[in-house]
Structure 1
Amino acid sequence: MSLALPSLATPVSAAEQSLRGIRTNIVQSIRAFRVPDLQEAAKALGHHFLYANLATAQSKQDVLDLIGKQFMLNVTIGKNFDSLYDSLTDPVHKSGPQQGFIVVLEHIPANAKFDKEAREQLLDIFRDTVDYWGDRKVPFRCFYSFSVARAAHADSVHSTATTNMGAIEVLTENGEKMPTDKLLDISPQALRMSSPFNAGYWTTN
């Protein structure tokens, strides 16, 4: 009679398992993912976890300053998105082999100072960054959400958020309907992190 040998396979967390259905190099809405789960998955995979909460940002410079501070980048981000791309690519690549990245941009602003064009420019920078690391066979997954915006109509400015039965309908400053799957609550309770982001420095052991 043969005895079954114990499995030597490393247990896979639920968060890590859920990422197996996501391309290794992608920019997408955070949707049903939870930030702590993504952080756990990054740890399990040996990837850098980069988190930025942009709920307090109003302008492009605010967004750049908050990303630079919360990502703890070694390269100073300037006043344009190109400098953000530069800081996430060559200097990091030259610092040593990288296992991968999981990035979260939470509560990207949606207001008059950071309009639809600015939001697309920001996401395009991360799409370019994804391509850069993809060319080098390094996983880079970026998840994002938008903050609830206030509508600005020609005759008045008012909030259009409605929470009847959990449904939210929000318009941006240009009357554009925001995709509700990309909206997250920005109440004080929602902004609390279960554990603060502690950046793993760019050099690997």
Structure 2
Amino acid sequence: MNAQFDLDFGDATHGGIFFVTSDDLEPLAEAAGMNGLSVCRINLADYADRDTLFDRLTQALRLPADFGRNWDALADSVRDLSWLKAPGYILLFDHAEGMRDAHEEDFDTLLDVLEEAVDYWQDAGSPFFVFFALPESAFDDVED
């Protein structure tokens, strides 16, 4: 896909949740990093269950040891992130199709949690971007 993005990673009002292809993740990470954002990569390949997600998020976001490993704890954590010491954040989820296709309820819940975080960070004036990489075929119907 290699989409062209007209996003100002320094502007909190541009934050949101976006769907891209895996090829887009590296240029996005570089652009966000140049703006000082904390870049967090989460690989959802072989997604098996929520424990898989919480394991990968714990590592990528360097969540505190007392992270509760449930949706409420995740919601609280992504609205804090103070331990990452950055002016803003970008979460890059690669291979999101596995979770989306096999565990739609978990995927939808994750989207809800992240949408609330986007709103929180916009109100706080801090950039917060989330990108989910899907296969090129996921965009075929959208582009018509």
Q: What TM-score does the superposition give when structure 1 sets the normalisation length?
A: 0.55
> 1:136: Cα distance to partner?
0.5
Confirm or deny: 8 A CA contact 1:52 1:70 kept in the other structure. Answer: yes
Q: Which amino acid aligns with 1:53?
A: N
Which residue in the other structure is 1:141 paired with? 129
Confirm or deny: 8 A CA contact 1:53 1:105 kept in the other structure. Answer: yes
Q: CA RMSD in A?
A: 3.1
Match of 2:111 among 104, 107, 123: 123
Note closer, same or farther for the CA distance 1:59–1:40 as it changes in structure 2 (3 Å cut). same
Matches within 5 A, 1:48-197: 48-90=38-80, 92-93=81-82, 98-108=86-96, 109-112=99-102, 114=103, 116-146=104-134, 168=137, 180-181=138-139
Aligned residues: 134
Secondary structure at the aligned position of 1:28 is classed as: strand
> 1:30: Cα distance to partner?
2.0
Larger relative helix fraction: 2
Inter-partner Cα distance in structure 2 for 1:33 and 1:135: 31
Which consecutive unaligned segments of at least 5 residues does structure 2 have?
none
Confirm or deny: 8 A CA contact 1:76 1:87 kept in the other structure. Answer: no
Note closer, same or farther for the CA distance 1:104–1:110 as it changes in structure 2 (3 Å cut). same
Confirm or deny: 8 A CA contact 2:38 2:84 kept in the other structure. Answer: no
Note closer, same or farther for the CA distance 1:28–1:56 as it changes in structure 2 (3 Å cut). same
Note closer, same or farther for the CA distance 1:118–1:17 as it changes in structure 2 (3 Å cut). closer
Inter-partner Cα distance in structure 2 for 1:35 and 1:138: 21
Secondary structure at the aligned position of 1:46 is classed as: coil
Inter-partner Cα distance in structure 2 for 1:76 and 1:54: 23
Inter-partner Cα distance in structure 1 for 2:105 and 2:122: 25
Higher relative contact order (CA 8 A, sep 6+): 2
Confirm or deny: 8 A CA contact 2:22 2:94 kept in the other structure. Answer: no
Secondary structure at the aligned position of 2:18 is classed as: strand
Secondary structure at the aligned position of 1:42 is classed as: helix
Match of 2:37 among 16, 32, 47: 47
Inter-partner Cα distance in structure 1 for 2:52 and 2:44: 8
Q: Which amino acid aligns with 1:134?
A: Q
Inter-partner Cα distance in structure 2 for 1:96 and 1:122: 20
Inter-partner Cα distance in structure 1 for 2:47 and 2:88: 27
> 1:24: Cα distance to partner?
2.0
Q: Which amino acid aligns with 1:133?
A: W
